[in-house]
Amino acid sequence: MPTQTGIRAAVPALVVLFVGAALVRAQPTDVVASSQVNQTQVKLSQSVRVTLAIEGPAPLRGAVELPRSLLTADADASWRIRPDGEAEIKPLLDGRERWQQVYRLDPYVPGKPLRATFNPVTVNRQSVTWPAVEVTVERTSSESAPLPEPHSVTAVEDIPAVDRPTSSDRALIPWIAGAGVLVCVVVGLAILMRRRRRRPIPPTEWARAALARLEAGDMYGDVVAERVAAILREFVERRFAVPATKLTTTELSAATAQQGWPVEQSEALRAVLDECDLAKFAGNTPDDDGCRRLIRTAADWVDHVSLPAGPG
């Protein structure tokens, strides 16, 4: 037999269980679907945006199962629906959440109003349906313009006869054809002569001309040294098939030694390139006299290696 003290101790626990059960029963478990459009009157060439929302017990993430086709069959023939952004979930009071997704509706046909109905959506195994929306869709001014009235059928008109060439016209045809052939021959000869005039410049002539232009110009200092080095490297590449423009001075010196260049020619080239490198990288900039001397030294080296006894 329970004592009076035990009964008094059990009463608070029973009260807590009773209140908790009442609170559980009082929490809303219903799911509410709503739909809202941003405008109720558009042109046929325009679109509307409809917000489809679900309010129900949390959590709604993963609980909303959309149908394969949002629109019913009759609405699918009048509207095109596409999602506009991602679905959002917002917390509400009493342990509920709001799921919403914005869709873009494009009308296919006019209607006053044009109705869009939706297939049921499943939320936590509960089927609900969004309310239908109605939008007045009007034709644009160009679409509502009446079609032009058909023309009455008339009798077939006689086609005017085409003038045939006379004997004098036929006599001119050979002359015209001959003139065309002559023009083609003249143009072909001009192109051929122009191509022949563009003969490749020998490397020695090219280097001499480039150094002469450099000496006659108004450049000075490290710019002249850098240009002299570029001309010499290009000359070596053209004349002796050594990739001088892609090699450092040390690598170029080693390459000329491998090709069996005379020591005096290889060392003379390295001395000029070393001086150019000092001007470019070490700030040892030559003055006007130094620039002219550097150009003349490079020109003398080009003349010397271009002799029949030169390398290569």
133 and 219 share one domain:
no
- CATH number for 263: 1.20.120
127 and 220 share one domain:
no
- CATH number for 74: 2.60.40.10
What does the pLDDT read at residue 20? 43
User: Of 140, 168, 194, which residue is a domain's last?
Assistant: 140
- Whether 39 is in a domain gets the answer yes
Could you tell me the residue range of the domain that residue 90 belongs to?
32-140
Statement: residue 112 has pLDDT above 80: yes
- Whether 190 is in a domain gets the answer no
Rounded Cα gap, residues 1 and 12, in angstroms: 20
- Whether 253 is in a domain gets the answer yes
pLDDT average, residue stretch 182-204: 81
- Whether 275 is in a domain gets the answer yes
Statement: residue 50 has pLDDT above 90: yes
Count: domains in the chain: 2
What does the pLDDT read at residue 130? 92
User: Of 92, 124, 140, which residue is a domain's last?
Assistant: 140
210 and 123 share one domain:
no
215 and 132 share one domain:
no
What does the pLDDT read at residue 150? 52
- Whether 167 is in a domain gets the answer no
Q: Which of 48-62, 78-92, 153-167, 217-231 has the lowest mean pLDDT?
A: 153-167
Statement: residue 312 has pLDDT above 90: no
- Whether 24 is in a domain gets the answer no
User: Of 121, 140, 159, which residue is a domain's last?
Assistant: 140
- Whether 149 is in a domain gets the answer no
Helices 288-305 and 222-240, packing angle to 10 deg: 10
Per residue in 126-182, pLDDT tens?
899 999 999 999 987 655 555 555 555 555 556 666 666 666 667 778 888 888 888
- Whether 134 is in a domain gets the answer yes
